[in-house]
Structure 1
Amino acid sequence: MDKEQKIILFVLLLQGVWCRDWNISLPEKIEALRGSCVTINCTFTIDNTYDKYLTDSAVGIWLKNGHNKENAVFHSTNSKLSFKGEMTGKLKVKNCTTIFYNVTSNHKGQFYFKIDGNGGLKWTYTQKSVSIDVIDSPHNPTVQMFKDQMKVEVHEEVLERSSMCLRCSAKTLCSSSPPTLTWSSTDRLHLNENSRLQLDQQNQTEIISDLNFTATHLQHGVTFICTITYQIQQRNTTAQRNITLRVQYATKISLFSCNRTDVTVCLCEVHGNPSPKVKWFLSGRPVSTNTSISEERLNSTDLRSFISLHQSLSHTDTLQCVTNNSYGNSSQQIQLDSFSHEMFSGFIIFYVLIGAAGALVMMILCVITHKRRQNRKPFQKRREATTSHILTNEEHEGESVYANRVMLSPAEADNYPESLHYSSIHFTNTHTESEKIMDVSSLTAEYTVVRYYPAGASESSTDEQVIVNAEELKEEVKP
């Protein structure tokens, strides 16, 4: 090795030692939510000879998109620069972690750190920088699925009774309060979740929430939603991710019923994943294919099967619905004769209940009608009716006419508004027109219609009709 090669090798070794002493640890990229804050986790090292100058008087400076003095945007002790923030790390212990507040699009760029102290301690770490990207809304969280503690694809189907874990994670970013993760589901199931904070591979804090449960057929097709909520400047900003669970389970019968009239029609509704099949058995024998059987597939897991039995059935006949898929089978049986009796008894009970309800309604209506009629009568009791005796002055031919009237005292009369009553009194005139009505007693404040018929005249040839006030009539008959 010649002299020139030795000099080059020495310089390279010296540069390596120098660079190893002046080092910095920064994340490569940080995403900041507009309007929130952004935290830069930062640690550094210096040459040992400058340790004595790394005191509380040392300052930290951040440079944006360059290494020169004019690129400075933040100073740990000078708040006059454009970026407002705080150096939360202690420079004396070589921690340069910094927070920038009220992030705007101006915070987007490449940032370098510089240490500035006494005794010649001035160094800009140009070999490494951090990139800040500003986003307008938070990213959706990440959802992972674990079956029996093994990670599986989110679209993969799982077996019933498997131990499941749904994991939701998201970067905490920077906000006035830590973000929260919550789980919900389309079927509003009771969910048992737990959350925690941890550092990711880039030394950034992330929040994680695990949802643990045992898979059942009730959760097949259920969508689970993970929502992260950030509090940004007194308002909440959310993002979410969902996952739909696919559970494989043995077939089950959800409904089995019959309607027996002239033709017996039965329904068997089943569900399972994979999709189930249905077979019918009459008294233990498979039903022939020429029997009327129809199927209705509701979706990928639910199936309805109908059977119509036209032949006569004995009291010992039974009908069985059998369903199966690749994970299991299920069956139900019904006694057709007992079903018929049960159905007949059910109809009798039904109609008896309908009749009883109708009778009860009629009784209620009768009571209401009776009470309404009673309410129409005056509240006060009526006095005993008295008799008004009206006679003509001819005793031998005059005919006594009696009329019952309700008598009210003046005080009672004030409680009832005066109403108009009409009463017809017929007098057969066999004498002169000068005859007067005599002997009027207990007259009421009612109105009386007096019709006067001359001798020999009929009612249809009425000469006149006089409406006489009882008070006026009293005045006329006073002696």
Structure 2
Amino acid sequence: MDIWTAEKIILLGFLLKGVCCRDFSISLPQNIQALSGSCVTIKCRFEIQEQYDKNLTESAAIGLWFKDGDKMNDHLVFHSTDPQPNCFNGKITGNLHEKNCTTIFYNVSSKHTGRYYFRIESGDLKYFYTMNTSINVTDSPPKPTVQLYVEQKEVQDQEEVLEGRSVSLRCSAETLCSSPPPTLTWSSTPRIPLSESSGLEELISDLNFTATHRQHRVTFTCTITYQLQDETKTAQDSITLHVQYAPKISPSSSCTRTDVTVCFCEADGNPSPELEWHLSGHSVTNSSNMFISEERLSSTGLRSSITLHQSFTHTSTLQCVSNNTHGTASHQFNLLHSTPQVSGFHHFSFLLGVAGGASVMMIICGILLICARRESNTRRDDGTELILAHREDESGPDCANNAMLSPTGSVTQNHEELHYTQPESEEIRGISSLTTDYAVVQHYPGGVSEAESSTGGDQPNSSIAAVVMSEKNQTVQEQEAKMGEVFSQQSEDTTYENINI
């Protein structure tokens, strides 16, 4: 026998061995987690001996599941074509004639916990597989897992993240059977639902951002949520971010001045920074002329203050310098423009108060003056009015000056005209029984004839009518009598006569 014949015999033996050795087998997960109140899926595939391939048809194939044993009456929990009263509610989602025995059980509870065995029946094909799977039903879903990635590299626990680096937080969770499917939720992001078409056994959500000092010691939480028929069940995992960053000086750092100048400076950094004071560009420490103190605000914050006596305030600048392993920051104070805060008497406040008080008094006085004028005008309207007018007609009483008439009764031509001024109404005082008034009267030689008093003559200003109105209860005749007594005087001198009304 040559070498080629030997090789052919060996190859044929391997082929025959492969055909003859195809036996019954099954593929099942070793353990399955299930959530009480939801569903559970058993992924399953099986093999049969070649001689039974013709018996495995779509119409004849039956799948059965047994729990904790192989006895038909005691341990059967599922029948694909003939559901039993005590069997579990479920169905085989795979095609048995394609050797896919994947099965789903609904509304699982603690009684579903146990070991499960599969049996295939199709015509003459009847086989019970001894390999089994274990189902464990719990009341709470398994918690997700959060991992930290920096620049796409996984970071182990307790490692720091440098500010400005690209950070990714990945949340992953094993998805249990549920309808609707579970969701993952970050503490600051919307829910990311599981796509039913993805077929993923693990739900993943990534949170990407650039690390800043504001995220130092911030805890990020990922929560998986199962919406069941009667309740909602959740589980979560968290990670706290540790960010390292260069010092940052607070903008509230400032100076105040009383008898001495006090400046304070606050800095924040990770690792915790140090603070120094520079006066005129030189570092300073405690001395008899200045006092420096520090106060720890937090694990990353520091506050320092410096007290300068008056002899140092001529220096134009004071600088606060902070540094740590990641950088340096500084803040400059201008001492010449620092706002003094002097306790005690404040001249500007006093002047402002005086001006405000004077303004209020002026307003009050103005209001009182207006009220007084209105009251005075009201009283004048109720008093007596004096009206002096030229005689326009002959209906009223005539008063003639005797000095203006000749002995024959004619009017003297060379006379001085008598004028009466019309005063403004504001200048006329009201007359009452308690008021004394003075009238100006000019006398001319001669007497007044009856002709003058009756005709009035042809000369201008030959007749003068004087009407004096006194209190409302006095008559016009009484006023004329008083005026006649005044005109009877025989003097050219101006006479002031007291008229008592």
Q: TM-score, normalised by structure 2?
A: 0.61
Corresponding residue for 2:321?
322
Task: Give secondary structure in 2 for the equivalent of 1:169.
Answer: strand
- The Cα of 1:196 is off from its aligned counterpart by 5.7
1:194 touches 1:211 (CA, 8 Å); kept in 2? no
Corresponding residue for 1:293?
292
Larger proportion of strand: 1
Q: CA offsets, 1:229-281, max 9 Å, x none?
A: 10111422111111110011111112311111112111111111111000001
Instruction: In structure 2, give the amino acid aligned to 1:220.
Output: H
Find out whether 1:28 has 2:27 as its counterpart.
no
Task: Give secondary structure in 1 for the equivalent of 2:311.
Answer: coil
- The Cα of 1:204 is off from its aligned counterpart by 7.3
Q: 1:47 aligns with which of 29, 46, 49?
A: 49
Q: 1:263 aligns with which of 249, 260, 265?
A: 260
Corresponding residue for 1:10?
none
Q: 1:92 aligns with which of 94, 97, 122?
A: 97
- The Cα of 1:48 is off from its aligned counterpart by 2.3
Q: Distance in 2 between matches of 1:208 and 1:198?
A: 14
Q: 1:215 aligns with which of 203, 211, 218?
A: 211
Task: Give secondary structure in 1 for the equivalent of 2:140.
Answer: coil
- The Cα of 1:17 is off from its aligned counterpart by 7.2
Q: 2:221 aligns with which of 221, 225, 249?
A: 225
Instruction: In structure 2, give the amino acid aligned to 1:98.
Output: T
- The Cα of 1:155 is off from its aligned counterpart by 2.9
Q: Distance in 2 between matches of 1:113 and 1:88?
A: 14
1:73 touches 1:82 (CA, 8 Å); kept in 2? yes
**Inter-CA distance 265–59: structure 2 relative to 1 (3 Å threshold):** same
Instruction: In structure 1, give the amino acid aligned to 2:183.
Output: T
Q: Distance in 1 between matches of 2:67 and 2:338?
A: 85
Task: Give secondary structure in 1 for the equivalent of 2:337.
Answer: helix
Task: Give secondary structure in 1 for the equivalent of 2:77.
Answer: strand
1:197 touches 1:207 (CA, 8 Å); kept in 2? no
Instruction: In structure 1, give the amino acid aligned to 2:275.
Output: V
Q: Distance in 2 between matches of 1:198 and 1:292?
A: 70
Q: Distance in 1 between matches of 2:353 and 2:138?
A: 72
Q: Distance in 2 between matches of 1:114 and 1:49?
A: 18
Following superposition of structure 1 onto structure 2, how do residues 69-84 of structure 1 map, counting pairs within 5 Å?
Answer: 69=72, 70-80=74-84, 81-84=86-89
Corresponding residue for 2:466?
none
- The Cα of 1:193 is off from its aligned counterpart by 8.4
Corresponding residue for 1:277?
274
- The Cα of 1:29 is off from its aligned counterpart by 0.6
Q: Distance in 2 between matches of 1:355 and 1:151?
A: 69
The share of aligned pairs that are identical, in percent, is: 56
Q: Distance in 2 between matches of 1:180 and 1:192?
A: 10
Instruction: In structure 2, give the amino acid aligned to 1:93.
Output: E
Corresponding residue for 1:137?
140
Q: CA offsets, 1:272-294, max 9 Å, x none?
A: 11110000011212112323111
Q: Distance in 2 between matches of 1:231 and 1:14?
A: 54
Instruction: In structure 2, give the amino acid aligned to 1:265.
Output: V
Task: Give secondary structure in 1 for the equivalent of 2:172.
Answer: strand
2:182 touches 2:194 (CA, 8 Å); kept in 1? no
Q: Distance in 2 between matches of 1:286 and 1:292?
A: 13
1:318 touches 1:333 (CA, 8 Å); kept in 2? yes
Q: Distance in 2 between matches of 1:199 and 1:267?
A: 62
Q: 1:164 aligns with which of 148, 167, 174?
A: 167
- Kindly report structure 1 stretches of 4+ aligned residues shifted beyond 4 Å: 13-20, 191-200
1:195 touches 1:208 (CA, 8 Å); kept in 2? no
Q: Distance in 1 between matches of 2:125 and 2:278?
A: 94
- The Cα of 1:131 is off from its aligned counterpart by 0.5
Corresponding residue for 1:121?
125
Task: Give secondary structure in 1 for the equivalent of 2:141.
Answer: coil
**Inter-CA distance 286–212: structure 2 relative to 1 (3 Å threshold):** same
Corresponding residue for 1:338?
337
Q: CA offsets, 1:153-179, max 9 Å, x none?
A: 243211111111111111221112010
**Inter-CA distance 192–78: structure 2 relative to 1 (3 Å threshold):** closer
Long gaps (5+) in structure 2: 1-14, 365-381, 383-501
Following superposition of structure 1 onto structure 2, how do residues 436-475 of structure 1 map, counting pairs within 5 Å?
Answer: none
**Inter-CA distance 18–183: structure 2 relative to 1 (3 Å threshold):** farther
CA RMSD of aligned residues (A): 3.3
Q: Distance in 2 between matches of 1:351 and 1:46?
A: 104
2:88 touches 2:105 (CA, 8 Å); kept in 1? yes
- The Cα of 1:89 is off from its aligned counterpart by 1.1
- The Cα of 1:313 is off from its aligned counterpart by 3.2
Corresponding residue for 1:304?
303
**Inter-CA distance 319–78: structure 2 relative to 1 (3 Å threshold):** same
Find out whether 1:235 has 2:231 as its counterpart.
yes
Task: Give secondary structure in 2 for the equivalent of 1:174.
Answer: coil
Q: CA offsets, 1:428-448, max 9 Å, x none?
A: xxxxxxxxxxxxxxxxxxxxx
Task: Give secondary structure in 1 for the equivalent of 2:336.
Answer: helix
